[in-house]
Structure 1
Amino acid sequence: MPDYFHGYAVVGLVAVVGVLFVTVAFGANALLRPTVPTEEKLLTYECGVDPVGEGWAHTQVRYYVYAFLYVIFAVDSVFLFPWATVFAADGFGGTTLVEMFVFLGFLTVGLLYAWKKGVLTWT
């Protein structure tokens, strides 16, 4: 029975050490950092431009669509590299090839749908 709980004890110990490390780091940060809040330091700052007007601004939806398309193709590339290593292994060639074509087919259908809806036109 002691061997059974040994794995849980190691995981629990690592979790406790992790929580203590984060707590000590945040505590040291709070004690050692200089805190001199001024009006200028409390302003919202973005890209070196001082804020002017109200905080709400209209943004075109198409920028989000391009971001989503980027994420889709980034996920595709992350999936391609492990697939290429498994494809070379013995006995996995045909199965992994079919799986990759199914995966790329889903991505192609999504891209064609976005193209048909006119999402990819920059106007």
Structure 2
Amino acid sequence: MILMLNLSIIIIMLSNLIMLLSSLLSKKMIWDREKCSPFECGFDPMSSARIPFSLHFFLITMIFLIFDVEIALIFPIIKLFKTVNFIIWSKISFFFILMLLLGLYHEWNQNMLNWIN
């Protein structure tokens, strides 16, 4: 048991020593000028590589994705029309479409749908 413990300590120390030596002897610099500069087809960029991102465009994209997923959720409701009770189907469909319209009204009321402010 002590032999296994000693052997595992020697292996851990040896592996740490090898990792330390490899990091000290490597020629790679962390703050290399070429790695810190942006890459644009092998040439220096014409303008700043950090373009400001439009938050309004991001919000319009999120609204589109939400409504796209909701439309994908409407398709099974249409398919279930013949197999379920009509009253239950109409209540669920009405509630779902009401939630969609309330969300659309809220976004319209908050001026999220206006592209130019």
Q: TM-score range by the shorter chain?
A: 0.5 to 0.7
- Deviation of 1:51 after TM superposition, in Å, equals 4.2
Partner residue of 1:96?
89
> Which letter maps to 1:98?
K
2:102 is the alignment partner of 1:109 = yes
Alignment of 1:82-93 (within 5 A): 82-89=76-83, 91-93=84-86
Whole-angstrom distance in 1 between the partners of 2:39 and 2:79 = 50
> Which letter maps to 2:94?
F
After TM superposition, which residue ranges in structure 1, 4 or more long, deviate above 3 angstroms?
Answer: 42-45, 50-54
Bigger relative contact order, structure 1 or 2 (CA pairs below 8 A, ≥6 apart) = 2
> Which stretches in structure 1 are left out of the alignment for 5+ residues?
1-38
2:91 is the alignment partner of 1:78 = no
- Deviation of 1:55 after TM superposition, in Å, equals 2.8
Q: Percent identity?
A: 22
> Which stretches in structure 2 are left out of the alignment for 5+ residues?
1-33
Based on CA coordinates, which of the two structures has the bigger radius of gyration? 2
Alignment TM-score, normalising by the size of structure 1: 0.53
CA gap of 1:51–1:98, structure 2 versus 1, over 3 A, is farther
Whole-angstrom distance in 2 between the partners of 1:110 and 1:51 = 42
Whole-angstrom distance in 1 between the partners of 2:76 and 2:104 = 23
CA gap of 1:106–1:55, structure 2 versus 1, over 3 A, is same
> Which letter maps to 2:58?
Y
- Deviation of 1:43 after TM superposition, in Å, equals 3.2
Aligned length: 78
